[in-house]
């Protein structure tokens, strides 16, 4: 089993819709969680950190569920420019390295 | 604006060649990282460095070495390139140093797509 798992998609979503996807992690000792965004043929960029209490940044909401060991990303009122691959990143307590998911591809259609 | 640059966007090499990938950051960051990204696998850490002349193995260091002679520059070396090293190579940097503040944002270069024939 992979340490960090994501549905590869693609998620095809009409513009203006709400979309959500999850990322599961296997190490219950994991401490820090992030969502990075990677546009086609570009480098990853930090989208947001995921805090225990959840956090919101504009149209984006990230949540952490420690009991079920997953994090989620919700995008409201999706825009064409939201089309990208969303990478889930986890840091465990025992290993200071970041573990990267393979990403979920999102395509917003007009 | 923060910037991480990589020496080449595309590189084609032959099996057995020695390959140098260069990465330079202008943010005075202590930490620098080399990853490779392959379809369906996500980013995998090859090596990282938290200070000049310091290096630590990541998850997949076999077949690679690194050099960090200056704070701003982190080089990845493929001693004898093989076809299974065909991949996208991404360099990143972050602040933090030996305190392993790895929760600090990592800034990535544009990547080098290496093809080994």
Query: What mean pLDDT comes out for the span B50-59?
Result: 90
- Closest Cα to residue A13, out of A101, A107, A76? A107
Contact residues on chain B for A97, CB-CB shorter than 8 A: 45, 48, 58-59, 102
DSSP H or E stretch at residue A48 = strand A44-50
Distance CA(B57)–CA(B107), nearest Å, equals 20
A95: contact with B, CB 8 A cutoff:
no
Distance CA(B117)–CA(B97), nearest Å, equals 37
pLDDT in tens, A7-44: 999 999 999 999 999 999 998 888 889 999 999 999 99
Q: How confident is the model at residue A105 (pLDDT cuts 50, 70, 90)?
A: very high
Pairs of CB atoms within 8 A across A/B? 42
**What's the mean pLDDT when you consider all of chain B?**
92
Q: What pLDDT is attached to residue A96?
A: 66
- Closest Cα to residue B106, out of A37, A7, A5, A53? A37
Q: CB-based burial of residue A69 (10 Å sphere; 0-12 exposed, 13-18 middle, 19+ buried)?
A: middle
Inspect the interface and report whether the beta carbons of B42 and A8 lie closer than 8 Å: no
Which of A46, A97, A102 has its CB closest to that of B42?
A102
Cβ distance B109 to A103 under 8 Å? no
The token duo for A53 is: 């209490």
pLDDT in tens, B57-83: 999 999 999 999 999 999 999 999 999
Q: Which of B106, B109, B111, B112 to mutate to test binding with chain A, by most A CBs within 10 Å of its CB?
A: B106
């Amino acid at each position: 089993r992979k340490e960090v798992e994501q549905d590869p998609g693609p998620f095809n979503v009409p513009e203006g819709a709400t979309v959500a996807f999850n990322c599961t992690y296997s190490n219950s000792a994991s401490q820090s969680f992030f969502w990075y965004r990677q546009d086609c043929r570009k480098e990853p960029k930090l989208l947001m950190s995921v805090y225990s209490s959840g956090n919101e940044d504009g149209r984006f909401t990230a949540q952490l569920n420690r009991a079920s060991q997953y994090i989620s990303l919700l995008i409201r009122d999706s825009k064409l420019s939201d089309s990208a691959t969303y990478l889930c990143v986890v840091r465990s307590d025992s290993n200071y390295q970041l573990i990267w998911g393979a990403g979920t591809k999102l395509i917003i259609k007009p | 604006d923060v910037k991480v640059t990589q020496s080449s966007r595309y590189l084609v090499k032959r099996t057995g060649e020695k390959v140098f990938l260069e990465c330079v950051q202008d943010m005075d960051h202590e930490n620098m990282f080399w990853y490779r990204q392959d379809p369906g696998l996500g980013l995998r850490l090859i090596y990282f460095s938290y200070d000049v002349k310091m290096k630590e193995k990541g998850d997949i260091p076999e077949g690679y070495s690194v050099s960090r002679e200056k704070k701003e520059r982190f080089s990845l070396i493929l001693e004898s390139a093989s076809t299974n090293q065909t991949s996208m190579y991404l360099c990143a940097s972050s602040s933090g140093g030996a305190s392993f503040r790895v929760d600090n944002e990592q800034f990535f270069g544009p990547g080098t797509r290496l093809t080994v024939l």
